Structures are given as structure tokens and as C-alpha cells.
Structure 1
Amino acid sequence: MFSSFSLLFFFVLLFSTTITQPYKATDVFFVDCGSSDPFNSSSDNKWGGDEHSRFVPSNARSISFSSTPDYLDASVARTPFSTARVFKRSSFTYTFPVSQGPKFLRLHFYPATYSNLIPEKSFFSVSSNGYSLLTNFSAFLAASFLTNSPFNARLGGPQVYTFVKEFLIYVKDTQILNVTFTPSHKSFAFINGIEIVSMPENLYFNKAKIPKPVGMVNGPVIDNNIALENMYRLNMGGPQIYGNIDTEIMYRSWYQDNDYLYGNATGVTPYYLNPIMYTIETPNYTAPELVYRTQRSMGKKPESWIFWIFPVDVGFYYMLRLHFCNIIPQYKKSGQTLFKIFFNTQEIEEEADLFYWTQGTGYPVYRDYVVFVDDLDGSQSKHYFRLSLHPNTKSEAYLDAFLNGLEVFKLSMDRSLASPNPELISTNTPTVKTNKKKTKLVAIISGIGGALVLLSLLVLVVFWQRRRVKHLGSIDSTLPLDRCRRFSLREVKAATDEFNDDFVIGNGGFGKVYRGYMDRATTIVAIKRLNSSSTQGFQEFITEIGLLSRLRHVQLVSLIGYCDDEGEMILVYDYMAHGTLREHLYKTNKPPLSWRRRLDICIGAAKGLHYLHTGAKRAIIHRDIKSTNILLDENWVAKVSDFGLSKLGPRDQGQDHVSTLVKGSIGYVDPQYYRSKQLTDRSDVYSFGVVLLEVLCARPVRVLGLPKEQVSLAAWGKFCYLKGTLHEIIDPELSGVIAPECLRQFGMLAVSCLNDESSERPGMDEVVWGLEFALELQELADKTIVEAANTIADDTVIGSIPLRDTTTSISSGYEEVKSE
């Protein structure tokens, strides 16, 4: 039964539907740039030419061209793409008289050849009312990205040469909206169409309604000092809604979600025929009825999940607006159906209860969230975020999850929405007809973007070719078989006896790790499988493949291949027979490692890190160095593993850091990086210093039950070293084994790695040298002990003491020599 509050809220909603008024735009401009057709300002839904219009300065220097995009089908309007206004050398400004308030500004582009001006050479910037919208922008690269990227097939098939950039700008008391085009050096700018439509005051710009911050304490407020760019506007599970007066009162286009959809469950709820009951909180202009009449749901796989993946520009805040409507008649009370919502690995909602939000069937609602998309590895201008839905087992009746619509907006940072051009290697060379001349749109130069960019894009292309969970064909051409092999799910299941728990050798946030037997049981491998109920792993999966497919070093774990069949994300590595370093240090039944072996392991891991920092054109910062990410093969060779959080260092050699949100493992994270959000290769050095203390002391990096000063191993180790009592906290198994000179050198090196100031820490080359010097000091001391012991034995005619290949054979040697 409803509570009294719920009944009151229900009647408020019911009453509010009777007073919601339709919205009519106060400012509507459809400018066909380059056209001489008369502009009819009284028309609110017809295109008019800009030639001799009041929007264009009378003394402005520009050129108009006609073009014929005859590849467009009948469903796509040729206007405004039949003409273009071209600007060479100098800036050009359109001036529109508008009322105060928020406006949609839509720029229409068709990068064709205009006379002898070819689109590949067109780079320009666009600004409006003090906001930088585009900088050194290439419409050709943008169109090529849309043409060749499966993520953006929403614009109409394999050939996508026309596209729209939509911005949201709040016009203040000037009541003028300026749009300025500025060609880059020795280039030209062009525009085919400009569309301006006003919107309700609080539709998107509403400082009283703050979006829920995700992964941060506070997020930006969407007020009239921020400009927005629409990145995605999707009708989940429903048809495309074209932006015209008959279907969308503000001419917004809502695209289908098919090309972004992923996961094991992709159901569509039947079309809802009853009225959509708009409210004061969700007026009828929030989204069209067609958005709320259809939705994605879990379908027939309630045990699984749905998610969508989107490429976006890095380094920006984004507002996500999720549209919901309870259109399933059997959901009649709160608590029946609960579900979880995630942005990447961050939980947005733990118990989304649509009936509670709406208090009825057919009532739409929306929820706003603000997120920050970090530059995870510094390698590319775009990254991919994941929005996912998961059923909540607390549901009383139905395991389900559903979403009706989604809008994603990029927020201006320091009054700028500009970002680099898409980095994409084109696989097609399509042709476009203009002025009866055929011009080939050549492939983008392969030098754009590094290998990591290409590998990430290729892997993601594979995902989208498999959307709706169809079995994926061979992609041997995307990743060389000698470097990264693609396994079928059948092969992986056979290797693990259908993921038998008896084969499990580890378990983490990504999922279980299995020992597997590939190629007719001739090759032992480690198989890391993403848990289907986990919210982690997608970006880590991409980064791991991208990095390890191009890195080979004896001190790095080797990626053999991957599997991405039927919604699975699986990585296949060389098998490390002796597991992780940590499982040989504490909380284990394994015999303790000798000091000599520990030194060898530290030296090997340090060499692996040194290669990451210096072996490529740009440094690779691991960002998650810890004892569980140092693996040991059958010969006890140490190998650095798990590159899911890795980032590329700065592009500019004059910079020493990249700015990023803090990620890593508690107890290992560099405190300076934690405070400043500035990541350097010395952040890895700090983490490695913690590992050195782990190796020496054989205890966890944090033990909450200890006295306050001893909780953190890093802090306690530094304190003991400076006090001269480091020998008191070492692993008891090493008591009397470590030479005092070696211990001093090892302790000094570990503490220098843990320096509060990153600039005061050694580089990994110095760490390798310091560890090798510690080993030499240990070997020299061992040799001295043996020689002394043999001398004593000769004097007493007992014979010599045999030297074995472990330091445990001389565990008491230092005390014996001292006693002599």
C-alpha cells in the first residue's frame, strides 16, 4: 500500500499533468549558408539563404559554393548541404539577434571539395559569445571518424559525410548570439548550415538542480556560465526520431542505441500505447513521447547485464541525463524491481526503483549525473566510457533493469569545449561527387595516433561487430598472431574444463584467474576472465591489450592473446609457475625465500619498470606496482604484470607529469600524486619502495591493528631506518642472514624511493644500480664468511665448509666471525 506521502505525491503528479503547457520556441533560425534563397524570418521551420541577410556583415569577404551530396538517400534532407559558405585567410562572424536565455546552436558540415579547396586541407576554429567551440577543427577528419567508426553509424549507413555539431549556449543580456569562423594558417573554413533554436529556461541550465556527482565529492553546477556540447542523444530500444517540428518541438534528433549496445541482455519492452503522463518535474518538452514509450530491458536474461559504450573526448566533465518511464504494467509497487546503474566502475545508483521515482505507470522521470572522463594513458584524444545496468537481487518480484533514453553533454572547461581532432586510421577510400568532379577522400595518414590508439580502436571495433551477442568471426588481421592471438570461447572453455573452479589460481577485482592448457595441452597458460557480475575491467581489458601487444621484455609478463566471444572478456598470459611475490612473503604456507633470491627478484622487477619508463618513445607509468603484480616464473624470474591502470607519460618532453584522477592500491599510492593529481614515473618509484620494504619485512603494507605509527609500512620503515633500528623490523627468517653493509644500502635505497618529494626520488635506473650494489655487498660478505670459516677449519684440521646455492647455509656466519 502507498504511504500517505506517496499518495500525496501521486496526486501532485496527477494534477500537474493537467497544467503542463506545450513549449514554443521564441527564436528559430535555419540558415542555409552560401545560398541566395531569401530568408524568411517569420518561418520557424524552413531554411533560408544567408546571402544579403542581416546576419552577414555587408563588407565580409567570403565565397559561396554549391554542392550536390547525391549519395544522400531520400530520408536525409539535402538542405543545407547543397551549398556552403567558405572563408579564406580572415575570420568571419555571423550575428543573430535573439532573446535572452538558453539556445541550441547546431552547425551543419559537409566536407566536400569546393572549387580547388579540398576538405583535407581545411582546419579552422569556431567560437560563440566568448566560448571556444572548435579549435583547429577538421570536418574531414570528423566525417572520416564517423564513416569508419562503428560507434557512430547512427548517422546513416557506411557513408557518413554530413554531420551536425550541437552546442548549448546561454545568451545573457547582450541578446546577441555571435558565431565566428577563423581559418587556421594557410587554410580555409566553411559552414553549410547554422541552426539556432531557443529552449526552456531550466531544461538543461538549472543551477537549482545540481547533477549527482559520480566518483567525486562535488561536481560542476550547470548554470548560465557553462556551455555544453551534445555528444549523444539516444532513444533506447526505439526508432530514430528526426529533428523536425512534427516529432520534436526543439528539433532535437534522437538516434537509436543499437550501435552502442553491448552485453548479454538486449531486450526491448513492447511499445507502450497508453498516454505518457508528463508532470511539472518532467514537462512534455523534456523528451518526446516516443522516447518514453520504448525502453531497453534485461529481456530473457535477468541474470546478466546491459551496457552501452561511447567514445568521448578526454579531460572533460560530462552531464549524463538518464530518462526513465514505468511502462511495464505488472510493476505496480515500490520494491518489486530494483536495479543498479554504473558509470564505468563507479556506482551511480545502488537501488534504482522506478515505481518509487514515478509513483505510477506512464509517468516519465529523468536523473542527471556529472562525471569526469580522465585521460587514462595520455595516448589519445578519445576514450570510451561504459554505462551499465545490473539487476539488484534485493528486488521483491522481478530481476530486471531498463532505460528509455540517454543524453550526454560535454561541459566547457575554462570556457572551452574544443578538443583534438579524432585520431583514426581510415580503412576505406570512399568517393564523393561535387560539381561533377569526383574527389577521393584519401585515408588519414597513418602517423596520426600511436599504436595504442589503433589497437584500442581495433579491439573496440571487434566488440561492436559482435553487438546483440552474435558470434564474432576471425580478426587475425587486426592484431598480429605472433604478438597477440585471438582465442575462441570454445578453446578457452576446453583449456579450463568449462571454467572449473579446480583450475582457479587467483581472484581479483577483474575476476577469476585460471590455469589453462592450450594447444592440445602442450602449453600451460594463465587465463583471466572478467566476472559477469563485476563492474570492473572494461577499460583495463582495452589498456592491457593495447600495451602488452606491443611490449616485449623478459621482465614483463607476456600477453599471449584474448577472447571476446559471447559477451566474455578474457585475457590469456604466459603461466607463472611460482605465482605472485606476495604469496611467498607472508600469510602463506610456502617456504620463505632466501635473501639472495629476494634481491634477484627485486632487481628483475626494477629492470622491468625501468624498461616501461624508458624503453618506448613515451614513458609508460604502471600506476599499480605492488607485490601481487610481480609474478615469478618457473625459474624464479620476476615479471611485472597487470597493466590495466597504466598511463602514457606526457607528450611534451618539457613536462614531467600527466594530470589524472588518482588510481592505484591503498598503501602503495604516491602521496604527492594523491595530493596533486599529477602522475609521474616517480610515482611508480614510490610504490616500488613500498614493495622493497615488503620484501625486507614480510608484512602487509597496512595493518590496522598495530599502534598508529606502525600501521603504514612505508611510514614505519622510514622511521626505523632514520632511527637506526631497521634491523629490528626485518623478516625474522632473515635474522643473521643479511650483511650489515647490504642492509644499510637496501634500506637507504628503499627510503629514498619513499621520499615525499617526487623530484628527490631516484629514477628506476638508479634503483637497479642500487639493488645490484646491495647484491654485490651481500656476495662480498658471504665470500668473506666462507673464507674465514674455511681458515678456521684448516687450523683445526676439520676440513672446509661446502658452499651451497642459498644464503641459508651461512645463516649464522656473521655472529661466528664476530665471536672469533
Structure 2
Amino acid sequence: MFTITLHISFFLYLLFYTTAAAATIGDTANATPYIPSDYFLLDCGSSSSLNDAEGRKWSGDARSKFSPSNISNTSLESTASKQDPSVNRVPYMTARIIHSQFTYTFPVSIGPKFIRLYFYPVNYSNLDIANSFFYVTSGGYTLLSNFSAFLTVSAMKPAVASLRKEFIVNVRNNQILNITFLPSPNSYAFVNGIEVVSMPENLYIPGSDHQILLVPNQIVFNIDNSSALETLYRLNVGGNEVSITNDTGMFRLWLPDDDYTYSAYGFPPHREVSIQYTKDTPPYTAPQIVYTTSRTMGNDSLRYNLTWKFPVDSGFYYLLRLHFCEIQLEVTLENQRVFIIYINNQTAQRGADVIQWSGGTRIPVFKDYVIMVTDPDGRQSKQDLWLAMYPELDFRPEYADAILNGLEIFKLSGKDGSLAGANPELVLSPLPGPPTLSPQKKNNKKTSSLPVIIGTVVGGGSVLVFILGFLIFRRRRRVKALGSTQPKSSWVPLSDGSKSTKTSGSSLPSDLCRRFSLEEITSATCNFDDNFVIGAGGFGNVYKGHIDNGATTVAIKRLNPSSNQGAREFQTEIGMLSKLRHLHLVSLIGYCNDNREMILIYDYMAHGTLRDHLYKSKKQPIPWKQRLQICIGAARGLHYLHTGAKRTIIHRDVKSTNILLDEKWVAKVSDFGLSKLGPKDVGHSHVSTVVKGSFGYIDPEYYKRQQLTEKSDVYSFGVVLFEVLCARPAIILNFPEEPVSLAEWARNSYRKGTLDRIVDPNLKGEIAPECLRKFGEVGDSCLRDNGIDRPGMNDVVWGLEFALQLQEAAEKMAHGGGGLLPAALASPSAPLLHGEATTTDDDEVFTGSVENMSRSTVSNERLKSETVFSEIMNPAGR
């Protein structure tokens, strides 16, 4: 499905650095690390001094001169109720619990400082961490407002246990840095560690001689020393994590960019390469290893942008610092690699030429851009900040390519001195069903009503303005999940009776979607007995169960806590299927959302998945005519999704394991966890969204553009059609020379007129030539490269029905009413088809970057071990 021919620059790059070790270039003396004049490490809630994993010494704050004199009266020391192995170290071992205003005071020199706050949100001293909301201010700036470390960590992906918040505050007078914690009303504050480190004067708040462009106006934007910044992202693009001890003396953490990027080659680090720092880009700007890793665009540079996406808070200006360094052997002159930089789909820089900017190879340079991120609804929320690059072809560069080595993104304080954003939501919109709260809980009027404090300004150790007013924020239920002994996972369960500030399209109709108690489900499955398991997938195990005193047989799908899927897919499935009823869509009977469980209950499909009857199975092969009828049924189900509702529903995960067969062999499309509604406006043809689906079935146009249409389902269904015909998986691993894409292989065979040679050997003599030609025509049309050239599902249904008519007509002519066609298809099968099929294993999950995969060839080992997409689903049914 994707061609993998590495850009020639990659080979030249590797060749260059294979020999570079013998002759190191440059002088490493100019990379002397920065030595901070102010450096404090405070282990909050501790009475002793301990070293962390990097060997840095943290002083306990209990007897510290930086803590207030009345420390014992206003706060207490505490240890965590449980210790996650990932944070079983200083400073996360203890916490300072704060019940009233509490200020740490640090004597510092004038100039900008890093303030790093460390949080491990678990229960302390019998206090519910879900009720911890507080403010943090410093030097007149509001760093955090009504902040919940618990909600923040719960919403982070990939899942983490702890949080490090980094701010940049400029100390302008009196050489005192105050950091004040203030609990929200009826709440408490906590902190595990505080780090204060000075930095060079003009590192992130540069002087007037450094030009920062405002996007898209292309005018100069000034960041003066009255601004505060929050570090949101600091990335070693194309490389691995750079630890704080490998930074340039300021203990910055540089993370990989893998979680934010799309389709780009990454070059590995080469520490033997010396970077030639300059006055404009001094050694402390970024570590050498950042400039010796990069991402470029590869061979398909004219077909997609080099793209990254970052969630940020709306209502703020953001500073993006892009780090560049040309270290590839073939790029040594101006106009060899020239590209355009886009930020949020707006042009930030045309004619970007790293050699022109820096003056030569191995000389680093950085460029700063500022953009305002607004919310179309006029309220503060999370929005996506996009960074993209594309070759600047108007300059006729020698290489159609772009490059990026490092990236830093900072939030800039507003006019009110605030950096604070809104807390993320803990739960999704509430699901329908009978209330489960007890009468005592229903009548409890003291359920954590949390007012929002409008403004707090603390400076010089005194409070100037504390509370300007109160607004009712929301009712929050106590969350008892943290005390659970269940394993940690990346998903957060929906909470009964909770409310959301976000409105869903509509509540689910209770008459169409029944809510089950956990007791009913455990009874139906004999407490989830393994003997009742009938399938497994990316979502979790599927059990056969009996409800209503054994009168009804159902399929029960239970979310595995370690699954990559969770609350979002759970609610999407319920929201979609509860409103859809069609002969060829699987029926959702109900759901269970008790005690951290997420369970879906469906009609039982006696004959399992379509894939079960095609390959890697001892079941009797399905006859050709019946396969055709199954394909027609599935196509009708998809056609209903695309046209039968007010808005188009795009399934987004069409594959043979998501087509189920009931006791009468009627096909039903299932698994709507990844489904998306089509565009609201008829003037729009697509929905822009991150790529999701199953490897081997994903529409290449959707992948390249991140633009989802109903034609993406058509492409996936085309793969299914050839699965049905050939009894082969979407990626064939046992091809004589190398693995191949079924879609590409089948299309080539159809165009060469040799489709009969790759037909399932079990169908030999069954398929009429006219039927085969029509079936191949339909499958080939579904797999066309451009979505606009593919048929709609209504045309697919018509084509398959015509193929069935051709088959029945041929049978009638040959046998007077039915039976096989003994000599109709007597041509020999291809050598590949002799012997048992080998397929991908049900448990293989592919994640990562698509450039490692191939349209026609893929490394067998990579298929088994490397990654393809950031959110590729298991090829087995979910």
C-alpha cells in the first residue's frame, strides 16, 4: 500500500557517518556547558537531603531557610499512599501538603530563571487527590490557576504517573524569587519538588536585535523581560530522549518527537560529529546531539507535508523555536534544500534555507515564530497547534526536501500576567441509563463545589490582591479510582452521575440501549470464565453469555485495562450503534459501566468473523456464491452508514474481522469504536483527523492528507473483497521473496489478466469467468489511489449484485439450475497458493511511523517488530 524507497540522502548520510568516527570534525571545546549562578533543589515534605537518579542533591524543605518560618502550622509532610515504580525516587517520595497560603522564598540574582514544579498526584494523608485544586504565583505572574495535577495527569497520553511543569520567570528587582501556593476554597495544595535554575540573559527572552516573526502577519513581535513563559514541548526531533544531565548545564529535558509527528524519516544520533557553535547560536542553545538528529521528508516529499501536531490552550500567544543544522554530506551549498514553514496552516517562512541562514554545514541556527491560538467558539479550550514543512519548488532547489533538528514551544503570559489554562475533563459526557447513586449520595449537598478565583497576584512576599470574586465552577464527585488495586492503564472510566461541561450530540435513548449492572454481566459469563471466551482483540476479550435467565444468548466485549483503547472508543461505540438499526449492522443490546469496567453487549453472531472462514482456520471453507452474498450484505451495511443517517457515518476500521456472520450467514458490520461523523457542511468533502485504522486496510490518501472521507471505507472494503477472493490477509508474510500488500498484488493481477491465478484454491472450479472479471473490476475500482475515482458504496453494492447475477446465470446454463462449473476455471494456481497460508498473528499490533512500511514490499522482521501508525488497531477484531 505504501512504497518504501529510501531517499538517496539517507544512504549518503549513513556512508558519511560510517567513516566520520575515524576523523572527528570540529572542535568540541566550544561546547562548554553553561554554569548556572542560581541553582536550588528542594525536596518538599522531606526532613533530609537525598540524591536523585541523576546524582543531584535535593535538600528537604522541612528545615529549609527557603520555607516560611511557620511551616509546621500551615502545612504538613506526607508520603504517598502508593508509589508507582516509575516515580520511586526523589523528589516524588514525599510531598508538602498545604492548607493555606504558603510561600517559598529564594535569594537569586537578577535575570531569568527556570522554575520547575514536580507533582505526583496520589492520595496523601487520607486526603482525596481528586479534591486538590490550587494556585501557584511567582513574581506577579499566575503560573497555575485552580490547577489539578490529578486531572492533568489523567488526561495525558501516553499515560504517565507524574508531572513536571517548567516556567520561565524574569527576576527584575530585589533579588528575591517567591513561589506561592494557594489552595482553592475547600481544597488543598501539594507539591513534591521545586527546582530553580538560572539561565543566560537572552536565551529565551532575547534582545531587540533578535527578530521574532508574528504569523501570519510577518511583522516583528517583541518579547520583553516583563513576559513569563511556560515550556510545553522541548523535542529532539528524529532522535531519542536527551536527559537533563546531557543538556548544556540548565538541566532541560529533550524528549523524542515520535508522539507528535507524521510520516518523516528520522536520522539516528552521531556523537562523533562536532557542531560549530557561533555567537548567534552559543553552545547552551541546545545540546550537540539535538543538532545531529533530524527528520526529513524522504522519497514522497511532493506528496505530503512534514507535519507535527501539538495540543495547546487557546487564548494565548505561543513561541515556537525551530532548531536547524545541515550535517548531511550532500547538502553543502545554498539552494540545495529550500522549504516553506507553515504554522497552523499559515505561512510562517518562505525560502527557508539552513545553509543560507547559518553560513555552512555543521553550524546550528534557530528561528523563532509567534502565533496566537484562538478558539472558534470564543472560550478557552484545547486546540491543536500544527507545524508543517514543504519543499519550496519556486526556488528550484536541488533536493525537494525539508529538515528539522529540534523544536521548543512556549506559552507566553497574557496581559494579566497569567499562564494558566483550564483543567482537562476527567470524564466524557454521561451515559444514559437508570440512576445508580444511592439516596444518600443523591441528597448530598456538599459535593465538592469548587469556586474559581478570578485573580491572584503575589510579589515580593506579600499578597496584593487575593480574591476578586467567586464563580461556581462545577460539582465534582469524589473519585476513588486512585485507591484501586487494579492495574494502571491509559484510559479513564466514565463515572456514574458525573456531569460534563461539554455537550454531546444527544443523550442515548434508553429504549434502544439497555444498561446492565456488573452483577448481571458476571452472572452471564460465570464471573468471566475463560471457557466462555469466544474471541479477543485490541479492545479486550469477547465472551459468550446468557442474559434474562438464560433466554437470550449475547456476545459480551470487556475492555482490557492495558488496552490502548478506552473511554472514547467505548462511548463512540454506544453513541453510534444505539441510534442505528439495519439488517447488516450488528445490534448493540446494551453496556455496563460499573466499578471501572467498560463492557459492551451485542447480539450473538453464531458463525463469528468473516476472517475465521477464510484463512488460518480449520473451519469448512465458504462456497463462492455464499461469499458473494456476504460481501453484498456487508456493502449494504456500509452504504446505510454513508447515506442512511442525517450525517454520513465513516466506519474507519473496515476489515474482515469486523464483519460478523449470524446463524443464517447474514453479514453484519461491527465495531464502531473508531467511527467518525462526516462533515456538517455539504460544502466540505472530508473530516480532518488523525490517522486511525488497521494496517493493510488504511486508505493511503487518508494517511497522506489526514483527510477522512467515506471513500476511505470504500478502499478498506476493496481489501476485504480480495481477502474473500484469495483467502489471504491484507499483508502476506510468506510470499516467495518478501511480504506484499494484498491490495497491490491483487490489483496488479487484475490488470495483467491473471486474477484467476491467485484465487483461493478451495474455490477452484466454482467461479464463473464473467463473475470473476466483474468482481475483480469492483475490487480494483475500490482501491484506486484517489478517493474521487473510487465508486460510492451504492455502486459497489450494484456491482457485486451484478457479479452474483452473472454467477447464477452461468450456473444455470452449465447445470440447468445449480452446482459447480467443473471446467470454467481450470487454470493452474500460482505457486504461492500451494501449501498452507501463513498470516499475521491475531496479537500483532502495529504502531509507529508509516515510512517503514511498503506499498509492495515490507521487511518481514519490521512487520513483526517495528511500528506503522501512532494509533493502528489490532488486526484482530476489537
When normalised by structure 2's length, the TM-score is: 0.49
SS in 1 for 2:300: coil
Q: Secondary structure at the match of 1:360?
A: coil
User: Which amino acid in the other structure matches residue 390 of structure 1?
Assistant: Y
Map of 1:287 onto structure 2:
286
Rounded to whole Å, the distance in 1 between the matches of 2:167 and 2:402 is 31
Q: Counterpart of 1:233 in 2: which secondary structure?
A: strand
Q: Evaluate the alpha carbon distance shift between residue 58 and residue 573 of structure 1 in structure 2; reply closer, same or farther with a 3 A threshold.
A: same
Corresponding residue of 1:240: 241
- Measure the CA separation in 2 of the matches of 1:255 and 1:144: 20
Q: Is the 8 A contact 1:109 1:163 kept in 2?
A: yes
Name the CA distance, whole Å, in 1 between partners of 2:64 and 2:649.
Answer: 63
Q: State the partner residue of 2:500.
A: 448
Could you say what the CA RMSD is over the residues aligned between the two structures, in angstroms?
4.4
Distance (Å, rounded) in 1 between the aligned partners of 2:406 and 2:428: 31
Amino acid at match of 2:45: G
1:71 aligns with 2:104: no
Distance (whole Å) between structure 2 residues aligned to residue 128 and residue 484 of structure 1: 54
The DSSP-based 3-state class of the residue aligned with 2:96 is strand
CA deviation profile, 1:154-182 (whole Å, cap 9, x unmatched): xxxx3x12111100000012100000000
2:333 is aligned with 1:322: no
1:392 Cα deviation from its structure 2 partner: 2.1
Provide the C-alpha distance between the structure 2 equivalents of 1:68 and 1:353, rounded to a whole number of angstroms: 54
How far is 1:100 from its partner?
A: 0.7
Take 1:322 and 1:331, find their aligned partners in 2: how far apart are those partners?
A: 19
SS in 2 for 1:250: coil
Distance in 2, Cα, partners of 1:385 & 1:57 = 40
Match of 1:307 in 2: 307
Q: Distance in 2 between matches of 1:547 and 1:379?
A: 27
CA distance in structure 2 between the aligned counterparts of 1:349 and 1:558, rounded to whole angstroms: 28
| Secondary structure in structure 2 of the residue aligned to 1:86 | strand
- Asked if structure 1 preserves the Cα contact closer than 8 Å seen for 2:135 and 2:145, the reply is yes
Question: What secondary structure is seen at the aligned counterpart in 2 of 1:84?
Answer: strand
Contact 1:340 1:392 in 2 (8 A): yes
Describe the superposition over 1:372-397 as per-residue Cα deviations: whole angstroms up to 9, x where unpaired.
Answer: 00112346621011101112223431
Any conservation in 1 of the 2:38–2:109 contact (CA below 8 Å)?
A: yes
CA contact (8 A) 1:69 1:78 kept: no
Deviations 1:671-705 (CA, angstroms, capped at 9, x unpaired): xxxxxxxxxxxxxxxxxxxxxxxxxxxxxxxxxxx
Q: Deviations over 1:260-297 (max 9, x none)?
A: 112x4344366463211111111110001111110011
CA contact 2:135–2:146 (8 Å) conserved in 1: yes
Change (3 A) 1:187 1:443: farther
Aligned-partner Cα distance in 2 for 1:39–1:524: 61
2:572 to 468, 478, 484: 478
- Whether 1:176 and 2:185 are equivalent positions in the alignment is no
Q: Which residue of 1 aligns with 2:337?
A: 337
Query: Is residue 274 of structure 2 the alignment partner of residue 275 of structure 1?
Result: yes
- What SS does the corresponding residue of 2:130 show, helix, strand or coil? helix
1:258 aligned counterpart, secondary structure: coil
1:184 is displaced (CA, Å) by 0.6
Given that 2:338 and 2:352 are in contact with CA atoms closer than 8 Å, whether structure 1 keeps it comes out as: yes
Pair 390,430 (structure 1): closer, same or farther in 2 beyond 3 Å: farther
SS in 2 for 1:300: helix
1:601-616 correspondence runs (5 A)? none
Are positions 1:47 and 2:99 aligned together?
no
Residue 225 of structure 1 deviates from its aligned partner by 0.3
Measured after TM superposition, the shift of residue 302 of structure 1 is 2.0
Structure 1 contact 125–134 (Cα < 8 Å) conserved: yes
CA 1:424/1:350 → structure 2, altered by over 3 Å: closer, same or farther? farther
Question: Could you tell me whether the CA contact under 8 Å between 2:320 and 2:408 is conserved in 1?
Answer: yes
| Cα distance in 2, alignment partners of residues 353 and 392 from structure 1 | 10
CA distance in 1, matches of 2:686, 2:288: 50
Q: Which runs of 5+ in 2 are unaligned?
A: 1-24, 430-478, 508-537, 540-567, 582-634, 651-673, 692-697, 712-878
Contact residue 528 and residue 570 of structure 1 kept, 8 A: no
Q: Once structures 1 and 2 are overlaid, which stretch shifts more, 104-113 or 43-52?
A: 43-52
Q: Does structure 1 conserve the Cα–Cα contact (< 8 Å) formed by 2:247 and 2:253? A: no
Going from structure 1 to structure 2, the CA distance change for 1:559 and 1:298 (only over 3 Å counts) comes to: closer
Do the aligned residues in 1 keep the contact of 2:678 with 2:687 (CA within 8 Å)? no
> Which protein is bigger by CA-based radius of gyration?
1
Matching residue of 1:698: none
Matched, 1:62 2:75: yes
Superposed, 1:124-203 pairs within 5 Å as 124-146=134-156, 149=157, 153=158, 158=159, 160-203=160-203
- 1:411 aligned to 2:505? no
- For residues 216-227 of structure 1, the aligned pairs below 5 Å read 216=217, 218=219, 220-227=221-228
Inter-partner Cα distance in structure 1 for 2:250 and 2:64: 24
Q: Residue 416 and residue 44 in structure 1: after superposition, are their counterparts in 2 closer, same or farther (change >3 A)?
A: farther
**Partner of residue 26, structure 1:** 37
Structure 1 pair 484–382 and aligned structure 2 pair: CA distance change class (3 A): farther
Q: Which residue of 1 aligns with 2:353?
A: 353
Distance 1:297 1:241 in 2: 20
Q: Does structure 1 residue 386 correspond to structure 2 residue 480? A: no
- Do the aligned partners of 1:91 and 1:181 also contact (CA within 8 Å) in 2? yes
- In the other structure, the counterpart of 2:96 is 85
Check conservation: 1:55, 1:95, Cα contact below 8 A: yes
Contact 1:125–1:184 (8 Å) recurs in 2: yes
* Residue of structure 1 in register with 2:528 after alignment: none
Mapped contact 1:269–1:296 kept (Cα < 8 A)? no
Unaligned runs of 5+ in 1: 1-13, 456-460, 463-473, 486-516, 530-545, 575-820
Scaled by the length of structure 1, the TM-score of the pair is 0.52
Q: 1:406–1:322: structure 2 CA closer, same or farther, 3 Å change rule? A: same
Q: Which residue of 2 aligns with 1:396?
A: 397
Offset at residue 476 of structure 1 (A): 8.8
Q: Is the 8 A contact 1:108 1:194 kept in 2?
A: yes
Number of the residue aligned with 2:773: none
Instruction: Quickly say closer, same or farther: Cα 1:248–1:523, change in 2 above 3 A.
Output: closer
Distance in 2 separating the partners of 1:322 and 1:332: 20
Distance in 1 between residues matched to 2:109 and 2:483, nearest whole Å: 40
Query: When the two structures are aligned, how many residues end up with a matched partner?
Result: 479
SS in 2 for 1:321: strand
What percentage of aligned pairs have identical amino acids? Answer: 41
Determine which structure has greater relative contact order: mean sequence separation of CA pairs < 8 Å that are 6+ residues apart, divided by chain length: 2
Q: SS of the residue aligned with 2:348?
A: strand
Q: 1:102 to 1:454 in 2, by over 3 A?
A: farther
CA 1:453–1:341 in 2, change beyond 3 Å: closer, same or farther? Answer: farther
Structure 2 Cα separation of the partners of residues 281 and 452 of structure 1: 51
Paired position in structure 1 for 2:371: 371
Provide Cα deviations, 1:65-104, integer angstroms capped at 9, x if missing partner. 022763234xx6611000000111x200000001111100
Letter in 1 for 2:120: Y
> Equivalences for 1:700-739 in 2 at 5 Å?
none
Structure 1 match to 2:253:
253
CA distance in 1, matches of 2:418, 2:391: 38
Deviations 1:686-740 (A, max 9, x none): xxxxxxxxxxxxxxxxxxxxxxxxxxxxxxxxxxxxxxxxxxxxxxxxxxxxxxx
Contact 2:313 2:380 in 1 (8 A): no
Residue 42 of structure 2 aligns to a residue in which SS?
A: strand
CA deviation profile, 1:759-817 (whole Å, cap 9, x unmatched): xxxxxxxxxxxxxxxxxxxxxxxxxxxxxxxxxxxxxxxxxxxxxxxxxxxxxxxxxxx
CA deviation after TM superposition for structure 1 residue 207, in Å? 3.4
**How many Å separate the matches in 1 of 2:687 and 2:337?**
39
Give the SS at the match of 1:161. Answer: coil
Residue pair 1:432, 1:439 contacting (<8 A) in 2 also: no
Question: What is the rounded CA distance, in whole Å, between the counterparts of 1:225 and 1:249 in structure 2?
Answer: 25
